[in-house]
Structure 1
């Protein structure tokens, strides 16, 4: 079952099966059962590339930030995010 970690253009967290092209976060938003319990831990948005140096993460792991996904860059930017690139 998909997690509630897809962000729509209005900044709402939804549950859909498509992963998206960009990753973002607003801190730890989930509980031990991987359910969203708050809309943000901080008001800053971050958007990053999905792939970086082959690092793989377990989604919604305990004590770590909640991975959020955006369908595309336009969706991420319209949700109020700022782009952060990697070199």
Structure 2
């Protein structure tokens, strides 16, 4: 599982029919390297929101039926991150 911050939307007017309803968002990982990737969002997250991301085949397997061609899925929104049991701020 990865932590990241939503940086923007990735608009795609044409996409595979196997991809379910949701949005594609550009996120920046909390890895200290400013790594960015595109993650699929079914929760309705917004720019600036901190999120948890599942990657790999687990992300695609979350959907019922045939797994869509996705490898990064936003699975949660971080309300208050903590470090060593204390609020770390946003």
Regarding TM over 0.5, the answer is no
What TM-score, normalized by structure 2, do the two folds share?
0.24
TM-score, normalization: structure 1?
A: 0.24
More strand by share: 2
Please tell me whether Structure 1 or Structure 2 has the larger radius of gyration of its CA atoms: 2
Between the two structures, name the one with larger relative contact order (CA 8 Å, sep ≥ 6).
1
